[in-house]
Amino acid sequence: MTHPALEPADRALVAALAASARGPERDGVFALWLAVRAALAGAPAEGAPSRQTERLRAVGQRVRSLTAAAPLRRSIAAALADLAAPRGVAPAVVLSHLVAPAAENCPPAAAAAVQAAARSARPAAPEVGR
């Protein structure tokens, strides 16, 4: 089962990737796409966490090989470390930490896609009973 925010984020980031010029800008958008997918497509609660850990390790290796801007690479590495922690951080928090570096180092469409993914990844507020 995938997160409902995954498909719109995928579409927006792939469109930003297609519109990006070749080089560090495109690599930055690609790294963002990998990080957003890793955050939103995590293993289900009853699934094997080792598969998610392996997946996050592979995404981290791929991101390190890209020529994205250094602040973006550092923030993505921190986000992946947060996701891999034994008591992982919620995807909405991880994605919200990527919004500012994405806005500074990527096209506006990519930053908007990360921001929209962070907002839609937030859990629904509990209803207050009277």
- The burial class, CB within 10 Å (0-12 / 13-18 / 19+), for 25 is buried
Name all contacts of 60-63 with Cβ < 8 Å and 24+ positions apart: 62/34, 63/31, 63/34, 63/35
For Cα atoms 18, 91, 78, give the angle at the middle one, nearest 5 degrees. 80
Instruction: Please tell me the pTM assigned to this model.
Output: 0.82
Domain segments of the chain: what residues? 6-121
Measured between alpha carbons, how far is 41 from 2 in angstroms, rounded to an integer? 6
Structure tokens at 68: 């994205």
Can you give the pLDDT of all 130 residues of the chain as single tens digits?
A: 467 777 888 889 899 989 988 888 899 999 999 999 888 876 455 455 677 788 888 989 999 899 989 999 999 999 999 888 877 678 888 999 999 999 999 999 999 999 999 988 887 666 666 5
